[in-house]
Structure 1
């Protein structure tokens, strides 16, 4: 007998019918207290050797329907190795076709990053003598807001902030963090050692623990889109942003990267903060140099495709990158990675994947080193 289930960390699906393996009908559940939905993650049991066809019947009502075009779902038997399976978007349905080799198989919008794995990431990082773990406070569901301080703060050292997964369904962001942290904390990596001599890193690997555990696409437990809360966060609606922002104000920010995923565009790219009132030609040169260097260091990153650039003074200061760039006068950016494969550097089996996300994260170390003092805001 076929069974569909999603009552686990990060799970999301509603089963309408699964009596016939060739006509399994499903729906994605919306975020609590919000209308966003696109993230799915479920397990199918009892389908070994059967040609299963799973139709997500409300796909045409999802938050980003362009995201379904050219998209392939991921599947896993062991929850460690995720591969792409045949997927088409037709007649308003997202149709996943797969014949499982074993009795139980997991399907997801992208390779999941569970809160259990987040705990492992924090515990592993905490073994480094360079790391200090602090809990900034609690989320609405009572989960810890973890901050990793890497290196010692000092008057002659810069404060670099990296945050990820404001939107919980963008799991590639925390895979990216895993790669970045692994390299930064590698005691045998000379480039990382050199960076830690002059920079104190403040890292929040998961900005939205509640949405992550609940299986949300974009919001926290209150239905707040955290990347629209930075101008006026509060503890009742967006404690995650409030707590992190207060810490940023106390440490100062000399550089910030906010790590995300994009549903529609099959590229890795940077969204800058050209729309802030204080944008200058010098900041534009700084941003251009940063992007060109990353493209040279890792060809999975590109500079041709991305979001339209806002006119100066028209940027939304409730968004993280814009708020921080304007408030602290530093280079602040948003990294976007694809749910699909990368169009310029495709991989037919894995698509854009956890491993590629981790390698992109690790490659930032070289970019930071090569940028050197060009990242430092001018003294007032």
Structure 2
């Protein structure tokens, strides 16, 4: 018997009609306290060897309608191994066509990174002996906001901050952090050892645990888009940003990376700080040096496609990268990965996925190492 369910971590979809496997009608669900629609994650049972047609009939209401062009949905039988399945967009309806080989199958907008995985990542990192876990406080729904500190924590150390998943549906961001941590905590990796000899890393793997569990695309439990809260965060509306920002002011920041995913642009790219009031030749040279080293470190990165640069003095200081870059006069970048495939280096079977995000996280340590001498 056909059944669709979402009662699990990050699960979310609206069911309109689910009687005929060849014509299932669904809607993209909105965030719990906001109107953003794009994320979906659900389980289908009782349809082994049947030709499924899953039709999302409200793509016009989605936050990023262009995100569905050339998009292929993700699928898994065991929630460990994910692959792409044929997906089309026609007359505003997004259709997933798939014949499951088992009676239980999952479909998602992108490969999930669950709260259990998040907690396991914290535990694995702490067990390395190089990492300390700090509780900064609680989210609106009472989940922990954890900071991982790796390094000697001496005054002379460079202070490198990396945060991820301000937008909870951008799960590739936490896959990226897993890659960063895996390499940084490897006692045998010479780049990691050289970095930790001179720098302390402050890493927040998941800025928005409430939104992650709720299956939100962009907001926390209060409906706040955390990446628009940095100028005036509050414990009432955005405690995640408030508490992390307070800790940043205590430590200082020499390099800041904010890790995201982009729904529409099928490339890995960086978004810099050309629009902040204090942007100068030093920051320009730092940006260029970092980008050139990143191009060498990973063929998945490119610098041709991305966001339009802000005009001088026109940056939105509510955004994390702009606020941190302006406040600390430091190199600050937003890194974006695709929900679709990466057209720089496409993969028909898997597209961009968790493992590729993880490998990119490993690669980012090389450009960080290349600019250490220039950060101050």
Where on the TM-score scale, by shorter chain, does this alignment land: which range? Answer: over 0.9
**Kept in 2: contact 1:37–1:62 (CA 8 A):** yes
Q: Distance in 2 between matches of 1:159 and 1:87?
A: 44
Task: Quote how far apart the aligned CAs of 1:132 are.
Answer: 0.6
Structure 2 partner of 1:264:
264
How far did residue 247 of structure 1 move?
0.2
Q: Name 2:289's counterpart in structure 1.
A: 289
Answer whether contact 2:75 2:105 (CA < 8 A) is retained. Answer: yes
3-state SS of 1:166 partner: coil
| Contact 1:292/1:303, CA 8 A, preserved across alignment | no
Preserved contact between residue 75 and residue 106 of structure 1 (Cα < 8 Å): yes
| Other-structure match for 1:168 | 168
Per-residue deviation, residues 53-73 of structure 1 (Å, max 9, x unmatched): 000111121000000000000
Distance 1:358 1:227 in 2: 22
Partner in structure 2 of residue 336 of structure 1: 336
Residue 128 of structure 1 corresponds to: 128
Count of aligned residue pairs for this structure pair: 376
Measure, in 1, the Cα distance between the counterparts of 2:134 and 2:321. 23
Gaps of 5+ in 2: none
1: CA distance, partners of 2:254 / 2:372: 12
The DSSP-based 3-state class of the residue aligned with 2:22 is: coil
Offset of residue 371 of structure 1: 2.1
Q: Does 1:30 align with 2:43?
A: no
Per-residue deviation, residues 318-371 of structure 1 (Å, max 9, x unmatched): 000000000001001100000000112100001001111000000011111222
Find out whether 1:320 has 2:353 as its counterpart.
no
Unaligned runs of 5+ in 1: none
Work out whether residues 151 and 199 of structure 1, in 8 Å CA contact, stay in contact via their aligned partners in 2.
yes
Matched residue of 1:359: which SS? helix
Look up the match of 1:112.
Answer: 112
1:281 shift after superposition: 1.7
Report what 1:220 is aligned to.
Answer: 220
Q: TM-score, normalised by structure 2?
A: 0.99
**3-state secondary structure, aligned to 1:154:** coil
SS in 1 for 2:21: coil
Q: What's the CA shift for 1:207?
A: 0.2
2:58 maps to which residue?
58
Distance 1:160 1:365 in 2: 11
State how 1:194-205 maps to structure 2 within 5 Å: 194-205=194-205
Return the offset for 1:274. 0.7
State the partner residue of 1:78: 78
Aligned pairs for 1:137-216 within 5 A: 137-216=137-216
SS at match of 1:84: strand
What root-mean-square deviation, in Å, do the aligned CA atoms of Structure 1 and Structure 2 show? 0.7
- Partners of 1:314 and 1:191 lie apart in 2 by 37
C-alpha contact 2:24 2:54 (8 A) present in aligned 1: yes
Residue aligned with 2:303, SS: coil
Partner residue of 2:17?
Answer: 17
- 1:125-181 C-alpha deviation (Å, 9 max, x unpaired): 010211110110000000000100001211111110000000000000000000110
Q: How does 1:242-281 map to 2 (within 5 A)?
A: 242-281=242-281
Deviations 1:186-212 (CA, angstroms, capped at 9, x unpaired):
011111011101000000000000000
